[in-house]
Chains A and B, each alone.
Chain A
Amino acid sequence: MKKQIKITALTLLILLGSVSLIKAQSEADKYLTEVDKVLNAPEDQELTIKITIYDKKGNESVRELTMLQKGCCKRMTKFTSPADQKGIAFLSLPNDNLTMYMPAFGKTRKVAGHVKNTKFAGTDYTYEDMEAKKYTDKYNPKILKNEKEAYVLELIPKDPDKSEYSKINMTVRSADNYPTLLEYYDKNGKLVKKMTNSNIKKVGKYLMAHQTILEDLRSGTKTKMELSNLKFDTKLSEDFFTERYLTR
């Protein structure tokens, strides 16, 4: 009899534990879904990005590009400066489909997975950081902290082989579910990069961080991104997200 009670109690405990785990998981999923909704709210967007790269000594180097995005996962990026990178363009499509156009060769080429973890145009961003994505498609979330002002999600890559990170800790403002800080950890669990979103304000009905600073804690370099000329929901044609447009 005693034994039966013990087993029943244990089963109940496991069940309760599982239920609370599932609840926590579903709550984490819900939070991340909200983040995705905020970040990918516009039907489409077009903007200009000024990228300033600071080396260890504080020397600056500037790049400019234009970006078109449709929904969450179609993105066309074209460099407009500096002169030696002008015309280089990237087309990012769902399912890790990234194509690059190099005007010097007049050809497009699929970007292989090995390139995705390398630096994007000398910045502290990797191609993985720059790709158009839904966080819910790429990461399993876990709530690390849940406070009135902000909550912190731990994001574990669903496919670890496709990511250079073991996890990302994302701090999100509770009021509007906009991420303010992302901390990237390498495969050894060491904090290697820190991205801070600031100057977050509404453009029309959409929230947008107008400035992002990514610090590479290993090299001591940082990259600032400033957005301008933002336009939303201009009914961008699907034609812009094709290899045909990439080569123009």
Chain B
Amino acid sequence: MTRYLFSFIIILCLYVPLMAQNDTLVTEVGTEANEVTEISPVVSNATPALKWNGSFLTDNRLNIYNGKNHFSWEEYRLSLAPEISIGNRSSFKSELWVRSLNYARLNSYSQLSAKEYIQNIDADLREAYFEVYGFLSPALDIRIGRQRIAWGTADKLNPTDNINAYDMEDLWDFGRHLASNSIKAVYYLHDFTFTGAFVPVYTPTLAPDSSLVTALMPDFNLPASVMNNSSLLYLKYNNITDSLILPERNIENSIFAFKIEKPFGNFNTSVSYTQGRDILPSPFQTDIKPLSLNGDTITIDVRSQIKYPRMRIVGGDFAGSVFNIGIWGEAALFIPEKITNKTSMKLMGLTLMEQDSVTVDDKPYVKVAAGFDYTFKNGWYLNMQYLHGFVHEKGNDLNDYYVLSLNCPLFNEKLKLSPANACLVVDDYNDIQNRYAVIYMPELTYSGIDNAQFSIGVRIIEGSSKTSFGKLSNRDEVFLKMKYSF
């Protein structure tokens, strides 16, 4: 089976450039042109034309918690997006970020001669793919390369969007994903759209920096003591390390996904299936090495091996309108692979302790997102969304998120005031006073100059440290952003 699939992919890869070469010929001869699409001079060029688009963005943040006033984020991003259309049958699109992100990372005199420590500039190929419309069949479009495959109808936070790895480098840029080196095929049949995606090699999620990553990690307390032959031994941790085991690069570990879409009246609907992996790794083997025994206290080293559990995800979504109000919803059933952590303590080959514990239960769970939006007669735009289960949450630990956004255009839409952008997180309705978090994010945006946008805002976080976002309550920030598109 694997051999056949592999052969098919190779043939596919070889055939795409041939199709692109034949593209002009097919159109000129006119044998297939009528079956596929007729070329429109307004919307396409007969000869390949390179177009350059892009933007320049600056994003500066100042942490204002307890009068700290220190710069917490600095990003200067040049985004370049070259694009080539080859007739009406194929195109190449890409996006490259060249960035200066955050601050000098110097900690020794000797590093002063290394520019990478002083100016942290990186290049990030966000997307680069080749697309063929009407590939093999007039109803089939295919896209090969590094690409973002965005699924789901909810705003930014989509439980069904699980093909690409999450990009949480900037935790506040909700819903950002990394692109994957992949193949996507879309087949159109009457009202139905069938989409299939294949990502050969798994890419892990990009986590936020160490100061923010705690927000995503479940509370994890190492045991303070163990029973040994009915006597209590206190544990002193000397060194805790982990070893991340990535899935082997083979077909069995590739990501597969498919989706069927169909409109019903003024609603778009879809069902989908993704065979992927959890976004966070879980321990499956923990080795404890005793170093010394001092009375009833034992000093140990702990080394855990962690891996990404397999995850099957069945999703469904809809979007449409009722009584002029836009509504959407999506739900995803996550079926995880069971992961058991084998903990063992060995000394000179002698097993002192062995214990198994379930770190990921195979019990399925459901994440949901639903919302509505409405524009009032005075132009005010209201968007509300409910989310059950943030991207990193799983199993029984799914929290509820209520997200509100209100945009008020002023001065003929040159100014946009968002006075009520907020998110309420509820961890436990029975103990809401101690298990909640609120993020309040008012923002003012000026768009009075063509292609340019200036935003200033503040982010205030309040809540219990038992919730993900409550852990970030010392991250109150003022931010200033500018974006110029070209």
Contacts and interface: CB of A to CB of B under 8 A. Distances in A.
Interface of A: 46-48, 55-56, 61-62, 66, 68, 78, 82-84, 86, 96-97, 105-115, 117-119, 122, 161, 164, 219, 221, 229, 231, 234-237, 239-240, 242-245, 248
A114 B40 contact: no
B266 A97 contact: yes
Interface string B120-154: 00000000000001000000010000001010010
B133 A219 contact: no
Contacts of B40: 46, 68, 234, 236, 240
Interface in B259-289: 266-268
A62 B450 CA distance: 8
Given A83-B53, A248-B91, 11 more contacts: A46-B42, A106-B148, A106-B150, A109-B319, A110-B321, A118-B375, A236-B38, A239-B37, A239-B38, A240-B43, A244-B186
A110 B150 contact: no
11 contacts: A83-B451, A84-B483, A86-B53, A105-B150, A110-B326, A112-B324, A113-B323, A113-B324, A114-B375, A119-B379, A236-B40
B412 A68 contact: no
A112 B412 contact: no
A246 B163 CA distance: 23
Contacts of B429: none
Q: Give the contact-size bracket for chain B.
A: 35 or more
B55 A235 contact: no
A112 B150 contact: no
A96 B266 CA distance: 9
Interface in B35-63: 36-38, 40-43, 53-55
Given A82-B450, A236-B38, A109 B153 contact: yes
B453 A84 contact: yes
Contact of B37 (A61, A108, A117, A237): A237
B449 to A, nearest CB: 9
Nearest to A237: B38
Interface of B: 36-38, 40-43, 53-55, 91, 133, 141, 148, 150, 153, 186, 188, 193, 266-268, 319-321, 323-327, 373-375, 377, 379, 412-413, 450-451, 453, 483, 485-486
B450 A115 contact: no
Contacts of B320: 110, 112
B450 A61 contact: yes
Contact of A231 (B41, B141, B413, B451): B41
Contacts of A229: 41-42
A219 B485 contact: no
Contacts of B327: 112
A188 to B, nearest CB: 12
A78 B43 contact: yes
The binding surface of chain A is classed by DSSP as mixed
Contacts of A107: 150, 153
B91 A84 contact: no
A97 to B, nearest CB: 7
A74 B36 CA distance: 19
Contacts of A113: 321, 323-325
A122 B413 contact: yes
B38 A235 contact: yes
B42 A82 contact: no
Contacts of A84: 55, 450-451, 453, 483, 485
B55 A83 contact: yes
Contacts of B42: 46-48, 66, 68, 229, 231
A114 B326 contact: yes
A248 B85 CA distance: 10
A9 B486 CA distance: 75
A119 B55 CA distance: 25
A240 B42 CA distance: 12
A1 B344 CA distance: 117
**Which has the most chain A C-beta neighbours within 10 Å: B186, B320, B379, B450?**
B450
A83 B485 contact: yes
B412 A219 contact: yes
Contacts of A83: 53-55, 451, 485-486
A112 B320 CA distance: 7
A110 B153 CA distance: 10
A47 B133 CA distance: 23
Given A82-B451, A106-B150, A119-B413, A112 B485 contact: no
Given A118-B375, A234-B40, A112 B325 contact: yes
Contacts of B36: 239
Contacts of A118: 375, 379
Contacts of B323: 113
A245 B131 CA distance: 13
B326 to A, nearest CB: 3
A110 B268 contact: yes
Nearest to B36: A239
A115 B91 contact: no
Residue of A78, A109, A164, A248 most packed against chain B (CB within 10 A): A248
Contacts of A96: 266
A240 B44 CA distance: 12
B376 to A, nearest CB: 8
